[in-house]
Amino acid sequence: MTVTDTAHAVDPERGTLAKAADENFPVAPFFLPRAWRTDLMAVYGFARLVDDIGDGDLAPGGADARLLGVPDDRADDRLLMLDAFEADLRRVFDGSAGSDGSPRHPLLRRLVPTVRRRALTPEPFLGLIAANRQDQLVARYETYDDLLAYCELSANPVGRLVLAVTGTSTPERIRRSDEICTALQIVEHLQDVAEDLGRDRIYLPAEDMKRFHVQETDLAAPSANASVRALIAYEAARARDLLNEGAPLVGSVHGRLRLLLAGFVAGGRAALNAIAAADHDVLPGPPKSGKVHLLREAGVVLRGEG
């Protein structure tokens, strides 16, 4: 059991929030206003917990299941856990008072004032739950459009929530944000091909695998053959195009939010550069980009040069 798991077993709220330090992108960096950081961490707590439920990554001990009213002997039933989590989310938006009407899980109780302050709607949160429910039912994607539809649930709500929390939502910004978030989701899929296969999931479109003559057995190899590398390069180019399409979002905002959004775009580009530097061999594990590369990319984004 890791230190985080131990903390989670003792305090599920603290254990989940502690995972923010391990994310690919800063969740609520120090340079943001305190009120934004508080609300972004509340949103993160929800998103992290729903992903942990969907991936079967909850800490041992069953504390989260008990908080959600799921019997100990059903705690491994991910669909049941997601249903219970959705029911608890509904309590956030019910406006009910008193112990019976309040959310059961502390991470959802933490979310209540954020929802009230920022006038958040249920849809982005329900989208993230739907994505994790889909992960239990769909393990392969036939077309790129199918994958984009999944990203609409699994990634785009996060960007929309960031815009809502910071009070900067407009239709154009939402469109650009969706492009960035979808790109980042695809990048994560490329980094995690081997890990996802271990969960019996493949997020590389089947039609593209066929086009590049890639079999599922090729993805289980210790390192990528030429066909797999060509496929990864193709999907990486798609992700880069999406990032470039969404990048004008950064220039549409000002101040510290501009720094945060530049960090997201830069993080995606730096990750893609690391994949390219590894000759698109992602099977041994996610290629890593250093902080220098990330800062360099952030400077390029902030200057609007790419």
What's the pLDDT at 97? 39
Q: Coil, strand, or helix at residue 44?
A: helix
d(CA 88, CA 64): 12
Low-confidence residues of the chain, pLDDT below 70?
1-10, 20-21, 24-25, 95-100, 305-306
Residue 97 region, left (φ>0) first, then alpha (ψ -120 to 50), else beta? beta
Prediction pTM value: 0.91
Q: Pull the structure tokens for residue 223.
A: 């390192």
What's the pLDDT at 1? 45
**Structural domains in the chain (count):** 2
What's the pLDDT at 74? 95
What's the pLDDT at 237? 98
Kindly state whether residue 15 falls inside one of the protein's structural domains. Answer: no
Question: Which residues, including other chains, have CB under 8 Å from residue 136's CB and lie 6 or more apart?
Answer: 54, 78, 79, 82
Sign of the dihedral defined by the CA atoms of residues 19, 112, 40, 159, in that order: positive
Kindly state whether residue 4 falls inside one of the protein's structural domains. Answer: no
> What is the biggest distance separating any 2 CA atoms in the chain, rounded to whole angstroms?
61
Say whether both 155 and 244 belong to one domain.
Answer: yes
Residue 283 has φ and ψ, to the nearest 5°, of -70, -35
Say whether both 107 and 197 belong to one domain.
Answer: no
Say whether both 143 and 117 belong to one domain.
Answer: no
pLDDT tens track for 281-304 = 999 999 988 888 878 888 888 888
Say whether both 82 and 108 belong to one domain.
Answer: yes
What is the domain-level CATH number for residue 173?
Answer: 1.10.600.10
| 37 touches 96 (CB < 8 A) | no
The secondary element (H helix, E strand) that includes residue 94 is: helix 78-94
